[in-house]
Structure 1
Amino acid sequence: MKIGLAVGDVRGPATLDAITGQVRVAADAGFGTAWASQALGWDALTTIAVAGAAADIAVGTAVVPIPQRHPLVLAGQALTVQAAVAGRLTLGVGAGVAAMVSGMFGLPTDRPVQRMRDYLTVLGPLLRGESVDHRGETLTAMGAVNVPGVPAPSVIVAAMGPRMLRLAGELADGTVTWMTGPKALGEHVVPVITKAAADAGRPAPRVVAGLLVCVTGTADDVRARIAEQFALAGQVPEYRAMLDREGVAGPQDVAVVGTETEVAQALSRLRDAGVTEFMAAPYGDADEQDRTIDLLADLAH
């Protein structure tokens, strides 16, 4: 199991220089990938184009929500970033949290799997430099993106429900999860997407699992902080479904928190569940994050 490091907003407010520094730390420490999420601050793709160009490490988005970006637009953005980082991009996309997509942007959230199917059907050819003429149930796209000499990035999909997982196995290179523990991964996510990829004649899928991580001697205190800070996230239906599959109360219960030995054991459980890449999001103050990164770097080797 490869280990990557989350950078940017998920670790707390940071300047662009600070995020670039986080990416350099990840590269120097030997992590596999530096992952940026799309929240309400820095644009994930632009951020990793700048920060990723300054360090020799694979970079990825986990994830860019698709409702706000037409595939012709996203394909052009992604290929531009791919050129900037010398072919080291993984493009993670997702349907977005429904409450935000509808409440903040006024965009439809019905039929998310069909919308993602239409989107991926168009996005793949566009990333390969092909023309599209698509008039689907939820999407119209006609034209091509001309970015010469840039290979298509790997595409993974934020998928947790069975239908989205089957779609990711069929049309993408894998999935990326958030707040999903080893039980739900091993019993649900991995088998569903793996079967779908095999049925579609595709290679074994990438399974990127993202979780908060904190190496600490005061686990109860850290979990209490996580419970308070991520209380709303634990109520989001998309995440709540995975927490229920895990049989836990909230995000604090799937976070990887404990001593060096306990954290290493938790990562072993993720590996045994079939996770191919762990996206570690260091949690806590600067000292806690530094201690966490030190351990993760050792485990990454």
Structure 2
Amino acid sequence: MIPFVPRRPEQILPYAALVEWTSAHALWQGQATLIEPHQGFVYAAGAGFRVPTGLGVTLMPMRHPYEAALQVRSLAMTTGEPVVAGFGPGPVVFQESLLGERYPSQLGAIREYVTAVRGLLDGGVVDIRGEYVQCKGMLPPAVAPKIEIGLGVLRKGMARLAGEIADVAITWLTPVDYLAGTVVPGLREGAEKAGRPAPRLAAMVPIALARPDRTPVEQAMASNALHLQAPHYIDMLQKAGLDVTGKDPAADAKAVVAGGAFLSGDLDQLVAALKEYEQAGADEIILNLTGVFNLQGQKETMNELKSLLGALVGGTFN
């Protein structure tokens, strides 16, 4: 994962190169309001780094489903590589800022939105007159690489919905036990209800190597300060058994480290911890070194990513 919000598109290139030249599978970025992720990935492709990409996640209030489908297909056609198009409703205050009001039903809005995007990407005529989505039209026929629709998943209800309608469930800051005990069963329940296979699970894992000159709590705070104040993340972490309140950043970061939502340790310990994510059901693990970038900078982040990737393909991780 690109561990910062790029201000210039060329800042993306070292991370795209890392995917191109190492065993890393794909390059991921979340929603950004500086260099927009779709455009940043296209810039990297134009610079010669055509790699699989993941959007984890873009926020629904920012674009109509037709625009969302057009953007992601354009990205796939430009890079010539597969894309995971992750979507989420965003925080309630964000919905209110852009739409004038929150979605009365978060899951209902997502269901209509994803139904429209999938229909457009499948090449059919979409005609939806829903509570949240109004869309009648189709995209011009075109051949494009594989596009998977993803949903940001934190809690059981969203996991069930992802099991019904998504190709990929994308998690963030989720402890491995919560992944195994809540998210994966929810995905299976939704998939069984819809009579389809369960979606892939892509886990974004905040992580940092232990060093004498840093502490795990400082790294966790630098990585996830905003998330630890967001009600939906606080609720998820509390459901996972972590003593997170949103009132004391240092105490919350300590709880996140103790509860395994933020991983810290030497290379062997981190490889073992990531192996647990695989065993819990994660099909793809996204390395999130935002804390390292924010405190130690670009060079140390790249060195750490290279060390992690080297250790992960050393025979201890499949």
Greater relative contact order (CA < 8 Å, ≥ 6 in sequence): 1
| Structure 2 match to 1:42 | 35
Please report how far the alpha carbon of residue 246 of structure 1 lies from its aligned counterpart in structure 2 after TM superposition: 2.6
CA-CA distance at 1:152 after TM superposition: 5.3
Change in 2 beyond 3 A, CA 1:150/1:183? same
Cα deviation for residue 156 of structure 1 reads: 0.9
Match for residue 296 of structure 1?
Answer: 308
**Following superposition of structure 1 onto structure 2, how do residues 31-180 of structure 1 map, counting pairs within 5 Å?**
31-52=24-45, 54-103=48-97, 106-151=100-145, 153-180=147-174
SS at match of 1:62: strand
Relative to structure 2, which stretch is displaced further, 207-216 or 245-254? 245-254
- Residues 74-110 of structure 1 deviation map (CA, whole Å, 9 limit, x = unaligned): 1111111110111421111111122223246644232
Among 247, 259, 262, the alignment partner of 1:255 is 262
1:280 to 263, 283, 287: 287
CA distance in 1, matches of 2:145, 2:95: 30
Shift of the alpha carbon at 1:132?
A: 0.9
SS at match of 1:214: strand
Q: Which of 266, 273, 278 is matched with 1:266 structurally?
A: 273
d(CA) in 2 for partners of 1:131, 1:49: 27
Per the alignment, do residues 41 and 12 of structure 1 end up closer, same or farther by CA in structure 2, a change over 3 Å counting? closer
Report the Cα distance in structure 2 between the residues aligned to 1:126 and 1:71, rounded to whole angstroms.
9
1:27 counterpart (9, 20, 43): 20
Q: 1:172 to 1:80 in 2, by over 3 A?
A: same
Consecutive unaligned residues in structure 2, runs of 5 or more: 245-251, 314-318
Residue 3 of structure 1 corresponds to which residue in structure 2?
A: none
2: CA distance between counterparts of 1:219 and 1:277?
30
3-state SS of paired residue (2:54): strand
What CA distance in whole angstroms lies between the structure 2 residues aligned with 1:219 and 1:164? 39
Q: Report how far residue 163 of structure 1 moved.
A: 2.0
CA distance in 2, matches of 1:74, 1:104: 16
Tell me the secondary structure at the aligned position of residue 123 of structure 1: helix
Preserved CA contact (<8 Å) 2:126 2:136: yes
Q: Quote the offset at 1:70 in angstroms.
A: 0.7
Displacement, 1:276?
1.0
TM-score, normalised to structure 1, is 0.90
Say whether 1:207 aligns with 2:219.
no
Is the 2:5–2:32 Cα contact (8 Å) retained in structure 1?
no
Deviation (angstroms), 1:232: 3.1
Q: Distance in 2 between matches of 1:258 and 1:104?
A: 41
Deviation at 1:14, TM superposition (A): 5.1
After TM superposition, give the deviation of residue 205 of structure 1 in Å: 1.5
Give the Cα–Cα distance (whole angstroms) in 2 for the partners of residues 231 and 295 of structure 1.
Answer: 25
Structure 1 contact 216–288 (Cα < 8 Å) conserved: no
Deviation at 1:213, TM superposition (A): 1.5
CA RMSD of aligned residues (A): 2.1
TM-score relative to the length of structure 2 = 0.85
Q: Which moved more, 1:108-117 or 1:10-19?
A: 10-19
Kindly provide the CA deviation profile for residues 161-210 of structure 1, in whole angstroms up to 9, marking residues without a partner as x.
22221111111112101111101101100111023223323223211111
| Corresponding residue SS for 2:275 | helix
* Structure 1 runs not aligned, ≥5 long: 1-5
Letter in 1 for 2:307: L
Structure 1 segments of 4+ aligned residues over 4 angstroms from their partners = none
Offset at 1:131? Answer: 0.8
* Count of equivalent residues: 294
Contact 1:256–1:263 (Cα < 8 Å) also in 2: yes
Provide, for residues 27-50 of structure 1, a one-character-per-residue CA deviation record: whole Å limited to 9, x for no partner.
211101110111332211111122
SS at match of 1:170: helix
Q: Quote the Cα distance in structure 2 between the aligned partners of 1:185 and 1:219.
A: 31
- Kept in 2: contact 1:210–1:281 (CA 8 A): yes
Mean Cα displacement is larger for which, 41-50 or 61-70?
41-50
- The aligned amino acid for 1:28 is W
Q: 1:196 aligns with which of 186, 190, 206?
A: 190
